[in-house]
């Protein structure tokens, strides 16, 4: 016979009250947090540039955390707005608070700029100024982690001095140059950060292009517990929103469009991402891009359309993610694209459920709804709608689902293939473990 132990009443009551007390403490903490306003008038910090915003952030940092409220207006950025831990950077709405990159500026190198140097001598230093953010690259080191993103600290003639040494060689022979591209809003090694209710506008005029490894209109590097909410990232000479080496990022209800490269870029080692209710469209490359080692993420209720390559791209060690109720349409190549990776590096164990994938491809370049390349294993496609809704004469999404020769363990169930697909499933897999539910016919 098992005896029931009785807990003292005060312990039971305490257990019931703990959540209430915790919520009360959180509310009190938020109420007591420092708030610093910045704006063109009637603000704690008066100004409409990155210097004013940074002053407000620095005040919050000195207090150990809080809120910086950027009032309505257009703010011209000559350098990144640098975030700190335990900060909420909030605008008054993406249609009201606009952080805009300064006019583009660049100059070719006059002398080689070498690894370890703090300087670069350019052909023409006019327009450059101390405090300005710049990047250095050349044809041999054009992208990824090879450009150097720096801040000018002083200028002597045509020689620019930077805050940190260069981490690559940049040569005149390889068309080395310096240009004023930098992340507009940037968090480096921060945690517990929110960016909300603002627009980051990269202008895309007259300045060099950086991919999302080191820059983006909104950019995080090596950070934890971050949230980007109700923001617009547009017209950047690179990626709209980029997060690299991050844990538990949340990107929600944002819009990324008109960017030269990717719309939303989950980058190297992004773990446990939540990406939901975003709109990524009319970007130069992919709408939503999973780079290297994006794992255990959840992508739901997003829209990705009209992008220059794919709606959603997934590849190198991007495993164990779930894609739910996304709408992917009108992209130039494929709606969902699994990149060509070896077995040890492929995007295994991903699930796509209740997504709508339609109208992808371009005239003269037929597209695919879902294209699985590489040695990609354990992909589940469940209850998705894959179709081309346009008249047959204008339909370009020729194949609903393509399974490449090296893919295996692909499972499809209850997917609907409808309307003007030339072929619902093109299965070229040599694998022996696929479970492909054949469609009963296009409807």
Residue 47 placed within a domain: no
Of the residues 179, 199, 214, the one at which a domain ends: 179
Say yes or no: 203 and 114 in one domain: no
Token look-up 């210097």 returns 51
- Residue listed under structure tokens 């007390």: 21
Contact criterion met (CB below 8 Å) for 288 and 311: yes
Whether residue 207 sits in one domain with residue 133: no
Q: What is the pLDDT of residue 9?
A: 42
Burial of 278 (0-12, 13-18, 19+ CB in 10 A): buried
The rounded average pLDDT for each run of 10 residues, N- to C-terminus, in the chain (443 residues) is: 38 44 46 87 98 98 97 98 98 98 95 98 97 96 93 98 97 96 97 98 82 95 98 97 98 98 96 98 98 98 98 98 98 98 98 98 94 98 96 91 98 93 94 89 49
168 and 219 assigned to the same domain? no
Taking the whole predicted model, whether its pTM rises above 0.75 is answered as: yes
Task: Tell me the per-residue pLDDT of 256-284, one tens digit each, with 9 for 90 and over.
Answer: 999 999 999 999 999 999 999 999 999 99
Structure tokens at 237: 């000479």
Instruction: Report how far residue 244's alpha carbon sits from residue 187's, in angstroms, rounded to the nearest whole number.
Output: 10
> Is residue 314 located within the same domain as residue 403?
yes
Token reading at 143:
């992208």
Residues 6+ apart with CB under 8 A from 253: 229, 230, 276, 277, 278
Q: Which of 283, 321, 285, 329 is nearest to 303 (CA)?
A: 329
Indicate if 286 and 312 belong to the same structural domain.
Answer: yes
333 and 383 in a single domain? The answer is yes
Residues 203 and 241 in one domain: yes
pLDDT for res 419: 80
Secondary structure element (H or E) that encloses residue 88, with its range = strand 87-90
């Amino acid at each position: 016979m098992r005896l029931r132990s009785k807990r003292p009443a005060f312990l039971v009551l305490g257990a019931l009250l703990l959540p209430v007390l915790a919520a009360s403490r959180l509310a009190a903490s938020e109420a007591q947090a420092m708030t610093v306003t910045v704006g063109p008038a009637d603000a704690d910090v008066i100004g409409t540039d990155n210097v004013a915003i940074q002053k407000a952030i620095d005040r919050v940092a000195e207090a150990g955390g809080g809120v910086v409220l950027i009032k309505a207006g257009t703010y011209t950025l000559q350098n990144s707005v640098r975030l700190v831990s335990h900060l909420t950077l909030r605008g008054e709405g993406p249609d009201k608070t606009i952080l805009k990159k300064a006019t583009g500026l660049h100059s070719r190198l006059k002398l080689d700029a070498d690894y370890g140097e703090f300087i670069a001598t350019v052909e023409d230093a006019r327009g450059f100024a101390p405090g300005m953010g710049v990047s250095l690259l050349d044809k041999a080191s054009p992208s990824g982690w090879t450009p150097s993103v720096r801040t000018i600290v002083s200028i002597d003639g045509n020689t620019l001095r930077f805050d940190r040494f260069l981490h690559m060689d940049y040569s005149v022979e390889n068309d080395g140059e310096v240009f004023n591209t930098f992340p507009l809003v940037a968090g480096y090694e921060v945690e517990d950060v929110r960016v909300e209710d603002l627009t980051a506008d990269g202008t895309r005029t007259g300045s060099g292009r950086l991919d999302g490894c080191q820059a983006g209109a909104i950019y995080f590097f090596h950070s934890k517990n971050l949230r980007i909410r109700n923001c617009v990232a547009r017209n950047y000479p690179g990626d709209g929103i980029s997060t690299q080496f991050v844990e538990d990022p949340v990107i929600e209800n944002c819009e990324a469009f008109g960017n030269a490269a990717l719309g939303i870029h989950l980058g190297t080692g992004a773990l446990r991402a939540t990406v939901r209710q975003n709109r990524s469209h009319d970007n130069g490359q992919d709408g939503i891009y999973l780079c290297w080692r994006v794992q255990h993420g959840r992508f739901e209720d997003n829209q990705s359309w009209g992008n220059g390559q794919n709606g959603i791209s997934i590849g190198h060690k991007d495993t164990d993610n779930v894609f739910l109720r996304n709408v992917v349409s009108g992209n130039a190549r494929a709606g969902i694209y699994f990149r060509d990776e070896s077995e040890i590096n492929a995007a295994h164990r991903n699930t796509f459920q209740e997504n709508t994938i339609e109208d992808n491809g371009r005239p003269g370049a037929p597209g695919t709804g879902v294209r699985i390349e590489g040695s990609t294993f354990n992909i589940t496609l469940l209850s998705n709608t894959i179709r081309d809704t346009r008249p047959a004469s204008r339909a370009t999404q020729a194949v609903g689902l393509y399974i490449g020769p090296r893919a295996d363990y692909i499972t499809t169930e209850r997917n609907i293939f409808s309307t003007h697909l030339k072929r619902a499933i093109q299965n070229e897999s040599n694998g022996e473990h696929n479970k492909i539910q054949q469609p009963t016919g296009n409807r």
